[in-house]
Chains A and B, each alone.
Chain A
Amino acid sequence: QKEVEQDPGPLSVPEGAIVSLNCTYSNSAFQYFMWYRQYSRKGPELLMYTYSSGNKEDGRFTAQVDKSSKYISLFIRDSQPSDSATYLCASPTRDNAGNMLTFGGGTRLMVKP
């Protein structure tokens, strides 16, 4: 079992839809979780990070962690075509200093105008 897993998609939604992207992780000791966005032929860029359980909101984006089920979610409200990208979840699986991130395989999102 991979330490961090995602459905690869692609996920196709109409503009304006609410998008839910999900990730599962295997080790209950993981404490920090990040979401990265990667546009085609670019490097990943950090969207949000969250600690432990609960929600964190930043504009149209909300990150949610459910430690009881080892489930991480990213919600995008009022999705835009510019949100079309691959979304990767990550966690520092070997140290909590964040120096060794393990990434999920990524979910490709397509937002249709």
Chain B
Amino acid sequence: DAGVIQSPRHEVTEMGQEVTLRCKPISGHDYLFWYRQTMMRGLELLIYFNNNVPIDDSGMPEDRFSAKMPNASFSTLKIQPSEPRDSAVYFCASRTGVGYGYTFGSGTRLTVV
């Protein structure tokens, strides 16, 4: 099992540009989560999906953020336009409907300059 796969690992972009982060969950996992981690705020849940349907997006900070899950094996988190305060590590995680163990990806380190 390859685990949760995120791409890119690092992204440096200029303020105002569109950024797209990608995630491939573990096969058979029906929940997918996007988290953001910063030194100041720690790990924050942005949005989660169940069976490809967004269930709770109350953590999405602004309309500049959007997330999609077109099928069970792929999700994207898009920021448009990006701002320096969006700089953080973005994690994708997945789990099955049984138990509490999330499996996290290795994250995408985003720097907006």
By a beta-carbon cutoff of 8 Å, the part of chain A in contact with chain B is 32, 34, 41-46, 49, 88, 92, 98-106
Most buried by A among B42, B95, B99, B100: B100
Q: How far is the CA of A103 from the CA of B43 in the complex (A)?
A: 6
Q: With A and B bound together, what is the CA distance between A92 and B102 in angstroms?
A: 12
- The contact sample of 24 A-B pairs, CB cut-off 8 A, is A32-B100, A41-B106, A41-B109, A43-B91, A43-B104, A43-B106, A43-B107, A44-B43, A44-B102, A44-B104, A46-B103, A49-B100, A49-B101, A88-B43, A98-B95, A99-B31, A99-B50, A99-B55, A100-B48, A100-B56, A101-B45, A101-B102, A103-B42, A104-B42
Verify if B93 is at the interface (C-beta below 8 Å from A).
yes
| A92, closest chain B residue (CB) | B100
Chain B's nearest CB lies how many Å from the CB of A95?
A: 9
Measured CB to CB, the nearest residue on chain B to A96 is: B100
- Residues of chain B touching chain A, judged by Cβ–Cβ distance below 8 Å, are 4, 31, 42-43, 45, 48, 50, 55-56, 91, 93, 95, 99-107, 109
Nearest neighbor of A47 in chain B, beta-carbon distance? B101
A106 to B99, CA, bound (A): 22
* The 6 nearest A-B residue pairs measured at CB: A43-B104, A103-B43, A98-B100, A105-B42, A46-B101, A49-B100
Contact between B100 and A100, CB atoms less than 8 A apart = no
Q: A92 CA to B101 CA in the complex, in Å?
A: 12
Contacts of A43 in B (CB 8 A): 4, 91, 93, 104-107
Among B31, B42, B55, B103, chain A packs the most CB atoms within 10 A around the CB of: B42
